[in-house]
Structures are given as C-alpha cells and as structure tokens.
C-alpha cells in the first residue's frame, strides 16, 4: 500500500515525465462532492473538468521541472492533506514559450476502496479530491 506522501511524489514524477495525470484524482470526493483543482490560472470543478484540463495540459506542455522544497503530508485513516513550495518550469509547446514560477501547493487526498481504479496506479488507493497551486505575490 502506498502512502499519501508517495502519491504526491508520484504525481510530481508523472508531471516531470509528461505522463497522464488524471488517474491521480478521484471521481468524486466524500459524499460525492465534486473534485476541485486550482492551477495557476484555472479553476476546474468536477472529475470530467479535471480530467480534460489535465489531458490538455499534458498534450500542450513539455520539459517540466518540478522541484519540491517543503513537502509536508499528514495522513489519517481515510484522509490526508499536504502543502509544499514547488519551483515549476515548463514549455508551452503550442506557443514555444517557457514558463517559470515559484508556487505554493496544498491539497486533500481521500483513501478509496481497494480495486477502485487500482490498476491505474499500480494498486495505490489514495486520490486527490482537492488541489490548489498558486504563485506568491508581493504587494
């Protein structure tokens, strides 16, 4: 069984490798609440919106750098939460533009029953139900 921390690290590795990311997210959260993902410039609500947003991101970006600097994960029996400071860099392959940001990440994971999408992540049973990535601004 993989830990919640292991899933966060596996997500970072998949992002770096340009691998599909949608299987890291739950179909729905607790009580069938919609999964939510905030990116630097997007807000995706619902499993299908998250899957489509991640498919588009994977198809239109390359050369990811994901440097985690302060990953902290707290895990309970059914839920976990995390925070991190991450240096993100990537290339927009449609425009040929490189991006670089110092970002703040936080999110919530939920443990899912054995067998639920288990083949997608090698049997791992944690899924993101919320993720927030933002940049720090100085005012």
The domain spanning residue 126 has which CATH number?
3.10.450.50
Structural domain contains residue 26: no
Rounded Cα distance between 53 and 22, Å, is 9
More confident residue, 33 or 129: 129
Query: pLDDT at position 29, please?
Result: 58
pTM listed for this prediction = 0.87
- What lies within 8 Å, CB to CB, of 85 at 6+ separation is 68, 69, 70, 102, 103, 104, 105
What percent of the chain is modeled with pLDDT above 90?
Answer: 78
Structural domain contains residue 24: no
- What lies within 8 Å, CB to CB, of 23 at 6+ separation is 117, 120, 121
Structure tokens at 32: 């069938």
State the total domains in the chain.
1
Residues 96-105 have pLDDT tens digits of 999 999 999 9
Q: Kindly indicate the confidence band of residue 30, based on its pLDDT and cuts at 50, 70 and 90.
A: low
Q: Mean pLDDT over residues 84-102, rounded?
A: 96
Structural domain contains residue 103: yes
Mean pLDDT of the chain: 89
| Residue 84: domain span | 4-17+33-135
CA distances from 109 to 33, 43, 56, 87 (A): 13, 18, 23, 22
Neighbours of 117 (CB within 10 A): 18
Structural domain contains residue 119: yes
Q: Mean pLDDT over residues 47-67, rounded?
A: 96
């Amino acid at each position: 069984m993989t830990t919640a921390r292991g899933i966060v690290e596996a997500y970072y590795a998949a992002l770096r490798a340009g691998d599909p990311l949608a299987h890291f997210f739950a179909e729905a959260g607790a009580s069938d609440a919609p999964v939510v993902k905030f990116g630097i410039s997007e807000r995706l609500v619902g499993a299908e919106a998250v899957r489509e947003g991640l498919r588009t991101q994977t198809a239109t970006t390359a050369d990811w750098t994901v440097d985690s600097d302060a990953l902290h994960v707290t895990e309970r029996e059914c839920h976990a939460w995390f925070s991190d400071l991450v240096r993100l860099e990537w290339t927009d392959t449609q425009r040929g533009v490189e991006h670089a940001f110092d970002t703040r990440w936080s999110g919530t994971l939920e443990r899912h029953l054995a067998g639920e999408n288990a083949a997608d992540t090698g049997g791992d049973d944690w899924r993101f139900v919320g993720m927030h990535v933002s940049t720090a601004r100085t005012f």
